[in-house]
Amino acid sequence: MAFDGGRLAPGAVRDWCGTMPVHRRLLDSDPGYARAREEIETFTYDAAREDPPPLGLVTIPTVVHVVWSRPEQNVGDEQVASQIEILNRDFRRRNDDVAILPPVWAPVAADADIEFALVDVTRTRTEVAAFDTDDGVKSARAGGADPVSPDTHLNLWVCQLGGGLLGYAQFPGGPLETDGVVVTFTAFGSSGTATAPFDLGRTSTHEVGHWLNLRHIWGDDGDGCGGDDFVADTPNQGGPNYGKPTYPKVSCANGPHGDMFVNYMDYSDDAAMVMFTRGQALRMAAALRGPRSALLAAAATS
């Protein structure tokens, strides 16, 4: 059996699978978490009003955890590098495909001034065939890999996710021991196991957007028009867009330009999402000033 440098993790502890959904329910209903999220939104609102000077370039130290049970899931260093390169292009508006933008949105497409520096790749062999969103992949005890200094690092887990899920994230304000983003191995980077139409690394761009406090562009209210992403320069939009929509795609009386389906925080295919807005960049900067300020402090001293 192929085994190149990984370490054999203990198999999933049997009772763990039963207790983790409880943890998830607590997270969803825990008053402490709800309060933390409220405080973060108040801070973010105030930061947008006060319009503080730009942070300048912020480089986030990043640890990639490759957790695998079948050899093809043990994605190579070159594929990891391709993902870091994509994050650096997308968060700096250096992606060539920004050229596909309908001209109306080109002026609001933002350089978020955030980069990612790969500091380590961990490799963990697991007996878990597919991980759920119960955060098992983030715990050595559950067959995954523990995060590394999540207060000062982005932790990015790559594994087989179940249920056809591409990835999921955690907002600022959640438990430190599960902080980071998870991406399924066929939607990671742009080489190796990356598979169309999710083979341009945009799942990670989307998830890291959440990790820096961005909401879905349609406002997370199903297909309704009442939801908000708390960003002023994204149009109000009904539900998520899938595939590669054609401009203009109008919903919620948002014509003539319609939905901003080219935004990384929609559900379009990788080749169709090419931008963050200025408002989204400001919201991410507020996350770095506030709930994720330990990243800034660490960057300043490194």
Partner 1 sequence: MTPPPAALFRRWVHVREEDAEGVRVYRPADRPLPPARGRDGIEFRPDGTFADLRPGPTDAPVASVGRWTAPARDRLALAYPPGARSAGAPTGYEIVELTPDLLRLRAV
CB nearer partner 1, residue 91 or residue 261 = 261
Nearest C-alpha neighbor of 211 from the set 144, 164, 265: 265
Q: Cα(80)–Cα(97) distance, rounded to whole angstroms?
A: 21
CB of 256 to partner 1, least distance (A): 26
Number of residues that bind partner 1 (CB under 8 A): 36
Q: Is 242 in the site for partner 1 (CB under 8 A)?
A: yes
38 assigned to active site: no
Give the position of tokens 């001034």.
113
Q: Is 165 in the site for partner 1 (CB under 8 A)?
A: yes
- Dihedral of the CA atoms 205, 52, 232, 274 (nearest 10)? -30
The residue within the footprint of partner 1, chosen from 65, 125, 216, 292 (CB under 8 A), is 216
The residue within the footprint of partner 1, chosen from 68, 91, 131, 171 (CB under 8 A), is 171
The 102-131 site mask, x for binding partner 1 (CB under 8 A), equals: ----------------------------x-
Q: Cα(6)–Cα(76) distance, rounded to whole angstroms?
A: 12
Strand partners, 223: 221
In 3-state terms, what secondary structure has residue 164? Answer: coil
CA distance readout (Å), 73 to 3, 123, 159, 206:
12, 10, 7, 21
* Subset of residues 35 to 74 that bind partner 1, contact rule: CB under 8 A: none
Nearest C-alpha neighbor of 184 from the set 197, 211, 165, 169: 165
* Subset of residues 249 to 278 that bind partner 1, contact rule: CB under 8 A: 267-269
Q: Cα(273)–Cα(244) distance, rounded to whole angstroms?
A: 9
* Bridge-based pairing state of the strands 167-169 and 181-184: antiparallel
CB of 199 to partner 1, least distance (A): 11
- The answer to whether the beta carbons of residues 217 and 229 sit under 8 Å apart is yes
The residue within the footprint of partner 1, chosen from 161, 212, 252, 284 (CB under 8 A), is 161
CB nearer partner 1, residue 118 or residue 238 = 238
Cβ neighbours of 21 (radius 10 Å): 12
Q: Is 222 in the site for partner 1 (CB under 8 A)?
A: yes
CB of 302 to partner 1, least distance (A): 28
CB nearer partner 1, residue 74 or residue 184 = 184
Among the listed ranges 4-12, 112-120, 180-188, 287-295, the one in contact with partner 1 (CB under 8 A) is 180-188
Nearest C-alpha neighbor of 182 from the set 231, 138, 236: 138
Q: Is 170 in the site for partner 1 (CB under 8 A)?
A: yes
Q: Is 207 in the site for partner 1 (CB under 8 A)?
A: yes
CB nearer partner 1, residue 6 or residue 197 = 197
Give the position of tokens 């991980």.
131
CB nearer partner 1, residue 118 or residue 208 = 208
The tokens for 29 are 């209903």
| Residue 273 Ramachandran class (φ > 0 left, ψ -120 to 50 alpha, else beta) | beta
**Which is the catalytic residue, given 50, 78, 177, 207?**
207
CB nearer partner 1, residue 165 or residue 296 = 165
Residues acting as catalytic residues: 207
Contact set with partner 1 (CB under 8 A):
24, 28, 130, 133, 161-171, 184, 186-187, 195, 198, 203, 206-207, 210, 215-216, 220-224, 240, 242, 267-269
